[in-house]
Structure 1
């Protein structure tokens, strides 16, 4: 769940440059997305705005139906409701994300674990969350019994997965990054090389911004008192992900959670 706000600080200085920038925005995966295309470098080829918007929305809807825990009909939600020990066939894209997640879990010694969904819900930050509040030690202990990437079987030879104990998969930490990659591939397949794609704090900057300069991304100051830019980062052919705890949290007993 990305919590640091990224502000696109696209410093433009003329009407001709402003008209060379094409923007798409909307909601997806419980957050927002933004796509900026620099058509200044398209050698006069017009961008079919509505067609491109439709393709972006279609791809995001497709990924959401595979990986969103907020959609009870998505494949990951269906697997979460699946009985222990039963094999479940998944789409190749979901299979790839789960395989990558398992690799990351191994490399991080379990610090990255998409089976943490039971705890996310317990603490009030998931789709099945109760009213936010500090759970009891017993509730935490019971939820932790449903966590453990080692109990998730992702068959490398086919698109079948299985859980060896009760698990709740939450792909919030990886699905948005996957969607950013997919939109980047979509844009490049359409011939666009200069663009910025962002979904809920995870982004990829390709090529150059209008004015033939790197894309400028502003990181918001972590303060509940107001909104201000902490720093600007120039990005070119680079991905970045952000996270924090100053937008989505609750307080209890004078302590932030």
Structure 2
């Protein structure tokens, strides 16, 4: 018989870590659970989650659903999976909300600058098309009810600025399905956390210093029931005639982004949103990016290059709270 002073015995939680390859990088899942958890089955479901995104949204897999859409004739409805419809819809919406800074219709640009699946050498800036860019929102039509999409004009869709974030969200949904309440999942630098550690400490995520070719930690952000993603100019680039061009495209200018921003980190309710908005704010630059973040209530850290030093601008809750 229990007395009022007796406390229930809580199960001991053990730390687990699973990882694997996906989308040209690695996915990770760190979580706390009892010793009775079936980690093998969880590992299978985690891989299935990210592999689904890769099979549907990769431009590097010719059999992907996205490649079917890109190859389809103009004005032809193409039936696609529900996940792809959701990501395309979200991409179009953020494209409109960001005044075209985020655009899923830059596939041809990405390929022409040497970042796409064709693997041909990047064209010289002078050789690239100077025709006016038509945003995806003006060309792509999505019918969510029927699960179909169609292009109204020639366009190559590229989801590299949003698909990894969605993959992270599916990793989180997977662990939610296993009843886990304490985890950190990610694909490369895109991360999402649920709850906190058993010690009640939040999850700590390192923020990289945006230095070319060198991996250094510039700080740490603590996460609890939120997602984080970073876009920058310091990891993927091509060299053309001695000049470095980063992989993020400026849709309107039809060339890689060129401004003072070295990186933008965004925190949001989902990693898909954080991923896309980090790209959009990077494209908008050091002046318009923070302004839009304040207008839309986006939590974002902007890192600007100032010679060999860096300057930070932080926007939280729609307010500019720190400049150094």
TM-score bracket, shorter-length normalisation:
0.7 to 0.9
Q: Where does residue 44 of structure 2 map in the other structure?
A: 54
Q: Provide the aligned C-alpha RMSD in A.
A: 2.0
Residues in 1 aligned to 2:113 and 2:42: alpha-carbon distance in whole angstroms = 39
Alpha-carbon distance between aligned partners in 1 of 2:53 and 2:38, rounded to the nearest angstrom: 23
- Distance between the aligned counterparts of 1:146 and 1:104, measured in 2? 16
Q: How far apart are the structure 1 equivalents of 2:213 and 2:75?
A: 49
After TM superposition, the score normalised by the length of structure 2 is: 0.68
Q: Which residue number in structure 2 is paired with residue 32 of structure 1?
A: 26
Greater Cα offset, 188-197 or 27-36: 27-36
C-alpha offsets along residues 140-191 of structure 1, whole Å, 9 cap, x if unaligned? 325x657533100112432111101111111111111111111111111111
Does the 8 A contact of 2:208 with 2:218 survive in 1? yes
CA 1:211–1:115: 2 relative to 1, 3 Å: same
Match of 2:222 in 1: 234
Higher-strand-fraction structure: 2
Q: In the TM superposition, what are the counterparts of 1:13-162 in structure 2 within 5 Å?
A: 20-39=14-33, 44=34, 46-132=36-122, 134-136=124-126, 138-141=127-130, 148-162=136-150
* Contact residue 118 and residue 146 of structure 1 kept, 8 A: no
Quick one: distance in 1 between partners of 2:212 and 2:143? 45
Q: Which blocks of at least 5 consecutive residues in structure 2 are unaligned?
A: 1-11, 246-324
TM-aligned CA deviation for residue 77 of structure 1: 0.6
Match of 2:203 in 1: 215
Task: Tell me, in whole angstroms, the C-alpha distance in 1 between the residues paired with 2:54 and 2:102.
Answer: 21
Q: Distance in 1 between matches of 2:156 and 2:112?
A: 12
Between the aligned partners of 1:69 and 1:153, the Cα distance in structure 2 is: 19
Q: 1:217, 1:233 within 8 Å by CA — same for their partners in 2? A: yes
Q: Secondary structure at the match of 1:140?
A: coil
User: Residue 126 of structure 1: CA displacement?
Assistant: 1.4
Change (3 A) 1:153 1:23: same
CA–CA distance in structure 1, aligned partners of residues 213 and 52 of structure 2: 38
Give the Cα separation in 2 of the matches to 1:159 and 1:141.
34
Partner Cα separation in structure 1 for residue 198 and residue 205 of structure 2 = 14
Higher relative contact order (CA closer than 8 Å, sequence separation 6+): 1
TM-score by length of 1: 0.84
- Judge conservation of contact 1:115–1:170 (CA < 8 Å) in 2: yes
Q: How many residues align?
A: 234
Alpha-carbon offset, residue 102 of structure 1 = 1.4
Return the alpha-carbon distance in structure 2 between the equivalents of residues 203 and 225 of structure 1.
22
